[in-house]
Amino acid sequence: MAISHSDQLSMIAYCRRVNTRVGNAVNHCDGLCCAWYVESGQLTLRVEQQTWSVGPGQWVFLTPFQRRDQIFREGTVLRSLRFQFPDPLYWRGFHPVRVESSSWSDRARFDELSQKVLQELAKPLTWEAWAARQECFFSWLKAWLGVMEDRSSQGSLASGERSVGLMLHALGGLKGLQVDYQELTRLSGWSRSQIDRQFRQLLGMTPRKWLEQRVWRDVEYALLTTSEPLKSLAYRFGFTDPAHFTHWFKARTGIAPGQYREGKV
């Protein structure tokens, strides 16, 4: 697939020590592409009736909207590169990939590009740093796509799937957790019940659930990578007030956003 710097790609990349209470998940599904590198510890991953054990020095590549169970051993350190692709349904027909170093001739180059992405993200954001970050990310993405396309197969999109793709694009531009079903109906020609049914069939979740996962992803990134005050974050992501934000966050994680940011989990 051809991509260019004009494509709208949002990236989340960081190294983190996984807390099992937050990181472990059963039947998890989101709209992000992921490349996980285990630096230490152990990850058990169950996807499509397969169970993988991913240990130190191994990569696993995951495509969006695939349900999985992920179990991290306590203290696991994970290098995580995640991003949202312009066409959410491009990955339909792709499969998760675990790559062994012995079967991957470009492994050293991929490791080098991954480390460079993380280093660029750690730098203060100036125009020069932004340009370097974009160039670095697209080099990494090209290598990532090469691995996925070599080891997976694509399916074709039906008209209903394309309608869901248009609605996902519209949902991605919303602020907050309220789904604009009137706009989704305009885009698809479907009723609200039909929209929910199509989303469940294709993505395994309703538009509201998809939107909530997108907001969670953005909130998590802001907490881990910025020092923006929690009150400001609450209003920026469309919550009515900071108390609403804290209640929503604790319902998902069991802890307050300030504790999550400080690593007190």
pLDDT in tens, 223-253: 888 889 999 999 988 898 999 999 999 998 8
CATH number of domain containing 87 = 2.60.120.10
Same domain for 185 and 91: no
Would 118 be classed as within a structural domain? Answer: no
Q: 119, 151, 183 — which closes off a domain?
A: 151
User: Taking Cα atoms as reference points, which of 221, 177, 167 lies closest to residue 199?
Assistant: 167
User: Taking Cα atoms as reference points, which of 45, 63, 46 lies closest to residue 54?
Assistant: 45
The whole domain housing 16 covers 10-108+147-151
Please give the tally of structural domains in the chain.
2
- Secondary structure (3-state) at 167: helix
Q: 97, 118, 151 — which closes off a domain?
A: 151
Query: Of 57 and 11, which is predicted with more confidence?
Result: 57
Kindly report the CA angle at 94 between 91 and 100, in degrees rounded to 5? Answer: 125
Same domain for 95 and 163: no
CA dihedral sign, ordered 191, 183, 30, 96 = positive
Which pLDDT does position 192 carry in this prediction? 92
**Alpha-carbon span 198 to 161, nearest angstrom:** 8
Would 138 be classed as within a structural domain? Answer: no
Which pLDDT does position 145 carry in this prediction? 77
Paired with 34 in beta bridges are 62, 82
Which segments of 15-101 does DSSP mark as H helices, in order? 20-23
Q: 151, 184, 211 — which closes off a domain?
A: 151
Which pLDDT does position 3 carry in this prediction? 33
User: Taking Cα atoms as reference points, which of 181, 177, 175, 196 lies closest to residue 248?
Assistant: 177
**What pTM was computed for the model?**
0.57
Q: Is the pLDDT of residue 87 over 50?
A: yes
pLDDT in tens, 151-170: 654 444 455 666 777 787 77
Would 123 be classed as within a structural domain? Answer: no
With the CA atoms of 109, 111, 117 and 119 taken in that order, what torsion angle do they form, in degrees rounded to the nearest 10? -120
Q: What residues contact 63, with CB distance under 8 A and at least 6 apart?
A: 33, 91, 94, 95, 96, 148, 152
CA dihedral sign, ordered 120, 124, 130, 131 = negative
Same domain for 184 and 99: no
Would 139 be classed as within a structural domain? Answer: no
Which pLDDT does position 242 carry in this prediction? 92
CATH number of domain containing 239 = 1.10.10.60
Paired with 47 in beta bridges are 50, 68
Would 140 be classed as within a structural domain? Answer: no
Provide the edge-to-edge strand list for the sheet that holds 97-99. Answer: 10-17, 77-84, 33-40, 59-62, 97-99
Q: Strand 43-47 to strand 10-17: parallel, antiparallel, or no bridges (unpaired)?
A: unpaired
Average of per-residue pLDDT across 200-225? 85
Same domain for 257 and 163: yes
Which pLDDT does position 264 carry in this prediction? 47
Would 176 be classed as within a structural domain? Answer: yes
Average of per-residue pLDDT across 76-90? 73
**Alpha-carbon span 98 to 38, nearest angstrom:** 12
